[in-house]
Amino acid sequence: MTEPMARGSLRRGFEDDDDLPVRRLTREQASELREKNPGVSPWRVVAAQALVGISVALLAWWLSGAAHVGWSALYGAAAAVVPGALMARGVTGRFTNVSTIASGVGVMFWSLVKIGVSVLLLLAAPRVVQPLSWPALLAALVLCIQVYWFALLWRGR
């Protein structure tokens, strides 16, 4: 049998955190903190995804010499860009700024919308793009999704 956990044992390694004072920031301190840690606009990320998607589609078309490969890559990019734009619109809307709870619920809701639209676009791909090149579609989709990693680098230090 194991012993029950002692109270506070889950916070092991964080004992010194209790000694740190918690203080409210002034308006000036908060604006200074925002200036030091700027956010990245979700619209900038969507625009970068669109640019990467168009570039990949043109490159796929040029390398393969087949138009359907370029259209497949463009559709793959759209499967990342369109849901991303929907989510960006949803989380930057006025209803998500009402309260912290509304903001959290809004992000969860728009994340579900984003996933659902992505899945629907991928399911519709064989009917929309004919003949469909799955490798080109998936390559463009993956490259567009990787733009999110670069958004972290845009923030700087």
Q: How many CB atoms lie within 10 A of CB 149?
A: 8
Q: How far apart are CA 11 and CA 72, in angstroms?
A: 50
What amino acid occupies position 141?
L
51 near 77, Cβ under 8 Å?
Answer: no
State the chain's mean pLDDT as an integer.
86
Predicted confidence at residue 17, as pLDDT, reads: 56
User: Within a 10 A sphere around the Cβ of 69, how many other Cβ atoms?
Assistant: 24
- Whether the predicted pLDDT of 14 surpasses 60: no
Contact 82, 114 (CB under 8 A): no
**Distance between first and last Cα of the chain:** 48
- pLDDT of 149 strictly over 80: yes
Does the pTM surpass 0.95? The reply is no
pLDDT digits 0-9 by tens, 96-147: 777 888 888 888 999 999 999 999 999 999 999 999 999 999 999 999 999 9
Per-residue b/e over 4-15, b at no fewer than 16 CB within 10 Å? Answer: eeeeeeeeeeee
Q: pLDDT value at position 79?
A: 97
pLDDT at 139: 97
Q: Percent of the chain at pLDDT above 70?
A: 85
> What residue ranges do the domains of the chain occupy?
40-151
